[in-house]
Amino acid sequence: MSRVVIRPFETADLPAASRLLAERHARHRLKHPLLPAEYEDPKLALIEVTAAWESEGASGSVLVDGDEVTGYLLGAPKSSPLWGPNIWVEQAGQAVRVPEYMRDLYGAAATKWVADGRTAQYVLVPDDAELVDAWFRLGFGSQHAHAIRPVPAEPLAARPNLTVRRAGRGDIPVLAELDLVLPRHQALSPVFSAGELPTLEEALADWEESIDDREYATFVAEYNGQVIGSSIGCSIEKSSAHGGLAQPDNAGFLAYAAVLPESRGLGAGRALGEAVLNWAVEVGYTSVVTDWRVTNLLSSRAWPRLGFVQTFHRLHRLIGY
Ligand SMILES: CC(C)(COP(=O)(O)OP(=O)(O)OC[C@H]1O[C@@H](n2cnc3c(N)ncnc32)[C@H](O)[C@@H]1OP(=O)(O)O)[C@@H](O)C(=O)NCCC(=O)NCCS
């Protein structure tokens, strides 16, 4: 690596970074063609890298090989206390021709991040085995999956013994109860999520306000006449976690699903996920996106079974111990 120089990212690096990002995205789309095509164009990739660079508190590094920039890394903090003293590398925050050099880019950028106290680190990595491996050898581990699947060609058939229907005002009490199921589950081992637990009163008030919102399709599953689970579909544009290169065109979003603990394993999770897939077909979406904590033993098994394929890996490193 004699001719290679690593130095801080500067505004003048934006055009070169956008070309690298466009290249990375074109490679990523060979594997996941449902990701948005437009960011293969460096002019559009430039908008994304510029946004990453202009995020408050952004900093990073570039790799210069001879007189050509062949890699970059950009991170910025999020203000939410939920993530600790954090730094985030988002979907447009990195690209490198030789994945091994990501370790050098991180080595340079992380000097400032850690000096600034940014020790809780999050990186959204495209599904590229060599790049993921380079991050693993920087002490990062897998935290969260982003995934996609095409809508089904034919509506998926209903399951015997289970009725799935649109939720109505009369379902508000059970919908509120089901809203607590995911955060309660994820507070436990082995997820140990720091996410906030809403109270039942807050969940009830939320549903009173939102049950008629036509931008969200809410389904409930009944077994022996009792509601045992719920799911919600909406446009991907409603999700702040799937922006830019991670936001497929014309996609629906499986935003939520939960089944009461005593009723799991009956097929209700599948039926509720399929209800969102069928709804996406009716709306005219091409694909459906979802995401999950990889340490959630339930969703990380259920959603791949429904045909979701991982597109991005959110990796995490906590420095200090
Ligand atoms: C995730 C959840 C909604 C799934 O609901 P469920 O009713 O338990 O799931 P199902 O019985 O329909 O099973 C779904 C699929 O996962 C598979 N699955 C479930 N547990 C599994 C395990 N331990 N190993 C392998 N596959 C498993 C099932 O076999 C099924 O696939 P199949 O239909 O092809 O056989 C439910 O477990 C839940 O509420 N979990 C807590 C909250 C949560 O994680 N919500 C998801 C938010 S991202």
DSSP category for residue 46 = H
Q: What is the pLDDT of residue 155?
A: 85
Tokens representing residue 89 in the block: 């590398």
What's the pLDDT at 2?
58
| pLDDT tens track, the chain, 321 positions | 558 999 999 999 999 999 999 999 999 999 999 999 999 999 999 999 999 999 999 999 999 999 999 999 999 999 988 999 999 999 999 999 999 999 999 999 999 999 999 999 999 999 999 999 999 999 999 999 999 999 999 888 888 899 999 999 999 999 999 999 999 999 999 999 988 899 999 999 999 999 999 999 999 999 999 999 999 999 999 999 999 999 999 999 999 999 999 999 999 999 999 999 999 999 999 999 999 999 999 999 999 999 999 999 999 999 998
Q: Is the distance from the beta carbon of residue 299 to the nearest atom of ligand 1 less than 6 Å?
A: yes
pLDDT value at residue 196: 85
Residue with tokens 């791949």: 304
Long-range contacts of 234-242 (CB under 8 A, 24+ apart): 236/289, 239/289, 241/146, 241/291, 242/146, 242/289, 242/291
In the three-class reduction of DSSP (H, G, I as helix; E, B as strand; rest coil), residue 19 is classed as helix
* Pairing state between β 120-126 and 141-150: unpaired
Amino acid at 123: V
> Tokens 């036509």 appear where?
214
Residue of minimum CA distance from atom 12 in ligand 1? 267
Residue type, 39: Y
Distance from the Cα of residue 239 to its chain's centroid: 9
Q: At what angle do helices 129-136 and 102-115 cross, to 10 degrees?
A: 40
Between the CA of 259 and the centroid of ligand 1 the distance, in Å, is: 9
Q: How big is the chain, counted in residues?
A: 321
Atom 6 (ligand 1) nearest CA: 269
User: What is the DSSP secondary-structure string of 252-269?
Assistant: EEEEEEEE-GGGTTSSHH
d(CA 202, CA 189) in angstroms, rounded, equals 25
Whether the CB-CB separation of 73 and 85 falls below 8 Å is answered with: no
User: Which residues touch 154 (CB under 8 Å, ≥6 apart)?
Assistant: none
φ, ψ (nearest 5 deg) of residue 203: -65, -40
* pLDDT tens for each residue of 74-84: 999 999 889 99
Helices marked H in 14-143 — which ranges? 14-31, 42-54, 102-115, 129-136
Q: Where do the domains of the chain lie, and which CATH numbers do they carry?
A: 4-139 (3.40.630.30), 150-309 (3.40.630.30)
Burial class (CB in 10 A: 0-12, 13-18, 19+), 225: exposed
Atom 9, ligand 1: residue with shortest CA distance: 269
CA of 188 to the centre of ligand 1 (A): 17
Query: Rounded to an integer, what distance in angstroms lies between the CA atom of residue 291 and that of residue 285?
Result: 18
State both tokens at 260. Answer: 């009461």
Which pLDDT value is given to residue 81? 87
**Integer Cα distance of 25 and 98 in angstroms:** 15
Residue 137 beta carbon below 6 angstroms from any ligand 1 atom: no
Atom from ligand 1 closest to the CA of residue 264: 8
Give Cα 192 to chain centroid, integer Å.
Answer: 18
> Residue 175: what pLDDT?
98
The two three-digit tokens of residue 72, written as one number:
């970059």
In angstroms, what CA-CA distances link 178 with 150, 186, 190?
27, 13, 20
Nearest protein CA to atom 5 of ligand 1, as residue: 269
Tokens in use for 263? 């009723």
C-alpha radius of gyration, the chain, whole number: 21
